[in-house]
Structure 1
Amino acid sequence: MRKIIVLIFLSFIIFSSCEKDDFCIQNPVTPNLILEFYDANNRETLKNFTSLTVSSESAENNDNLFENITRSRLEIPLNQFATETVYNFSQNGIDNQFTIKYTTEDVYVSRSCGFRVIFNDVSFESDNTWITSFTPQIITTIDNQNETHVQIFH
């Protein structure tokens, strides 16, 4: 009887000292920049770009991020290890340089999820070749990817 009680007691101690597994069930993703493209003549109407190629100036191997795509919405990553990201948008052989400047902030999510980066004081510049304009010029914070951050008119 004594052995059974000791065995139960030891089993209780062993199983109560185990920690549950840590799984990241939140969405701690560092957000992408969300761009939506609109018709420059009718600013309320989404307009697909055609045969768009997107490349980053900071890419080491000069690979295109997107090549010959057609759509009206684009999600592009920002470089979390720099204070600016420069993209080249090429449509029908015409290039447009789009520069995003920002400061980064590491935000602790949890032990299982680690850190994520949010982007503060974000500003945009473009050489406006085939992109006629965009709005807004400045965003305070990009901390999610649930909404459009920039509207581009072409």
Structure 2
Amino acid sequence: MKKLVVFFVVIIVLISACEKDDFCIQNPVTPNLVLRFYDNVDRETTKNVNTIYVWAEENGVEKDTISAFNGTSLDSIYIPLNSLSSETVYNISNGTNVDKFTINYTTEEEYVSRSCGYKIIFNDVSFTSDNTWISDFTPSTLTTIDNQNTAHVQIYH
């Protein structure tokens, strides 16, 4: 009888000591910048960039080419921002011309959960372009980028 009681006590202790599995289901946690391309004449109509290439630049040196946007035809793209810096520079090519698109911001860490950790929120975001093939874009500033549910910037070409 004592063995049975000890057995049940040990089982109860083991079961109560187990922790619930923790999985991060908010992926990606840190949002990407979403750009949507529009026709410069009919500004309500999306327009594919026929041969889009996108690569990052840091201090005038090419860093990373985003292979998902390497020679494809798309009307929107999502690009990561450098959370360790206050500026990210991307070169966006339409196959013929290259436009330098610069994003400036401040970063803020926000706790999400034990499994996800922290995410970065981008505040006081501003955009500039050398307007080589991009005719215009809106907005030129954003208060915050905290999700990637909709396009952040409309680019007209």
- What's the TM-score bracket when you normalise by the shorter of the two chains? over 0.9
Give the distance between the partners of 2:28 and 2:35, measured in 1 at CA: 21
Structure 1, unmatched stretches of 5+, are: none
Alignment of 1:52-67 (within 5 A): 52-58=52-58, 62-65=63-66, 66-67=69-70
Flag the 1:61–1:55 CA change in 2: closer, same or farther, 3 A: closer
Structure 2, unmatched stretches of 5+, are: none
Give the distance between the partners of 1:62 and 1:120, measured in 2 at CA: 24
Aligned residue number for residue 99 of structure 1 = 102
Q: What displacement does 1:21 show?
A: 1.9
Q: CA RMSD in A?
A: 1.7
**Quick one: which amino acid aligns to residue 83 of structure 2?**
Q
Aligned residue number for residue 34 of structure 1 = 34
Q: What displacement does 1:136 show?
A: 0.4
2:130 is the alignment partner of 1:122: no
Identity of aligned residues (%): 55
TM-score, normalization by structure 1: 0.93
Aligned residue number for residue 131 of structure 1 = 134
2:73 is the alignment partner of 1:70: yes
Q: What displacement does 1:91 show?
A: 1.7
**Quick one: which amino acid aligns to residue 21 of structure 1?**
D
Aligned residue number for residue 46 of structure 1 = 46
Give the distance between the partners of 2:26 and 2:135, measured in 1 at CA: 39
The structure 1 segments of at least 4 consecutive aligned residues displaced by more than 6 Å after TM superposition are none
Flag the 1:152–1:102 CA change in 2: closer, same or farther, 3 A: same
Aligned residue number for residue 9 of structure 1 = 9
Q: What displacement does 1:2 show?
A: 2.1
TM-score, normalization by structure 2: 0.91
Deviations 1:3-35 (A, max 9, x none): 211211121112211212222233452100000
